[in-house]
Copies of this chain bind each other. A is one copy, B any other.
Amino acid sequence: MIAGPCSVENAEQTLETARAVKAAGATALRGGAFKPRTSPYSFQGLKEEGLKILAAARQETGLAVVTEVLAEEDVPLVARYADVLQIGARNMQNYRLLEAVGYEGKPVLLKRGPSATMDELLLAAEYILNAGNPQVMLCERGIRTFETHTRFTLSLSAVPYLHERTHLPVVVDPSHGTGHANLVARMAAAAVAAGADGLIVEVHPNPETALSDGYQSLTFEEFEGLMEIVRRVAEAVGKEIG
């Protein structure tokens, strides 16, 4: 269970969230230091300062750090602070970056592009594997469809499908996959029932003031509720959460 804020905004917000998600049972902390933003005028992240904040949160809580790397030349820097390098959906087919994290060697969380097919996802993973790094987690985070009641359409059938095609673990992101905080817990439970090996969820001390993705971030209390239902479903399907 990976949880944390969309963006690392400051030390306090990050530490507070790390403590809360740790207490609720998460094992890793997510948080963006380098933020890929649709608009050049949006908040772009704290960069190295953000990485230091994440490392400090790990120091205190023992949570592993999962954070995104945006460009080939940032790989060594991000790898110095992170335990898992995340490749965002927009970069799923940035092959130079895939090779760079492949050579780096740290575990990689590879997010599926919003219109990528299963074959394209698996071949993107192949760029990392082929560079000598076997530790790749695939992440379903929603695809673009005509549906507008959710930000994306979370395609949970990808989970059992990928399990038949590959031995790589499959993580689900119900926060981006729905875009609405009130749908996240149910879709997290559904993901686990579908067989997901992990979840990555956005949590924020005060979603209404978040610098990015506030509408899909859970409060600490909502996250505890999510952990509760997810834990019960995991037990029902014979998985352990933690």
CB contacts (< 8 Å) of A144 on chain B: these are 115, 144, 146
**Are A40 and B127 touching (Cβ within 8 A)?**
yes
Known A-B contacts A91-B94, A96-B71, A146-B143; the reply to A186 vs B194 at CB < 8 A is: yes
User: How many Å lie between the Cα of A7 and that of B210 in the bound state?
Assistant: 45
Known A-B contacts A153-B145, A194-B189, A232-B236; the reply to A115 vs B117 at CB < 8 A is: no
User: How many Å lie between the Cα of A190 and that of B195 in the bound state?
Assistant: 9
User: How many Å lie between the Cα of A145 and that of B143 in the bound state?
Assistant: 9
**Chain B, residue nearest A42 (CB):** B123
**Are B95 and A40 touching (Cβ within 8 A)?**
yes
User: How many Å lie between the Cα of A93 and that of B36 in the bound state?
Assistant: 8
**Chain B, residue nearest A98 (CB):** B40
**Are A153 and B153 touching (Cβ within 8 A)?**
yes
Number of interface residues of A (CB under 8 A): 65
Known A-B contacts A36-B95, A146-B117; the reply to A190 vs B186 at CB < 8 A is: no
**Are B73 and A73 touching (Cβ within 8 A)?**
yes
**Are B119 and A38 touching (Cβ within 8 A)?**
yes
Residues 214 to 239 of chain A near chain B (Cβ within 8 Å): 229, 232-233, 235-237
**Minimal beta-carbon separation of A234 from chain B (angstroms):** 8
**Chain B, residue nearest A145 (CB):** B145
Cβ of A178 within 8 Å of any chain B Cβ, yes or no, is yes
**Minimal beta-carbon separation of A38 from chain B (angstroms):** 5
11 contacts between A and B (CB under 8 A): A36-B95, A40-B126, A70-B95, A71-B72, A144-B144, A144-B146, A153-B153, A156-B156, A156-B187, A157-B183, A189-B237
Instruction: Please give the residue numbers on chain A whose beta carbons come within 8 Å of chain B beta carbons, in ascending order.
Output: 36-41, 70-73, 90-91, 93-96, 113-115, 117-120, 123-124, 126-127, 130, 143-150, 153-161, 164, 177-178, 182-183, 186-187, 189-195, 229, 232-233, 235-237
If A37-B95, A90-B93, A115-B144 are given as contacts, then 7 extra A-B residue pairs at C-beta distance below 8 Å, sorted by A number, are: A41-B130, A90-B94, A94-B94, A143-B147, A144-B144, A190-B193, A190-B194
